[in-house]
Amino acid sequence: MGFDSPHGYGLSTPTAGMADSIPVTVRDGDTETTIDVSPGAVLRDVLSEHGFEVYGSVSRVANCGGRGLCGTCGVRIEEAIEPFGLHDAAAQRWGYPRLSCRIKVEEPMTVELVEKRLWGQLRPR
């Protein structure tokens, strides 16, 4: 995949021919919205900035701040995106929602928001 951290820590090199923006389609119930995202943006941050909720009512205020530890920012991703970090790798391996704070947008993707009540309600499919 070629990145060291979803938050941009570590070495990175510009990619020749990289697009100015990458389309991310977000499914929220019956609604589907496509947003243009800067390459390299963290999916959790992008979704939040566009008003999409990745958390439950409690985890909205009590989460790990995007460090990949609490497991409450899960979303379904249609494409096979390479996991980053132990927790996201486990989520991918066992069919749980992927941790949006661990996903860097580097290619077009379709994201489905997961219904949550309090915490993460992360269940395998």
* Chain positions contacting ligand FES, by CB under 6 A: 63-64, 66, 68-73, 99, 101
**Is the Cβ of residue 63 or residue 92 nearer to ligand FES in the bound state?**
63
CB of 100 vs ligand FES, minimal distance in Å: 6
Minimum gap (Å) between residue 74 Cβ and ligand FES: 8
Q: Which is nearer to ligand FES, 18 or 62 (CB)?
A: 62
Q: Cβ of residue 88: shortest distance to ligand FES, in angstroms?
A: 8
Distances 117 to 2, 53, 76, 78, 114 between C-alpha atoms, Å: 35, 11, 16, 23, 10
Cα three-residue angle 68-82-42, rounded to 5 degrees: 50
Spatial separation of the C-alpha atoms in residues 18 and 88, rounded to whole Å: 25
Residue whose CB is less far from ligand FES, 37 or 96: 96
User: For residues 78 and 107, what is the distance between their CA atoms, to the nearest angstrom?
Assistant: 12
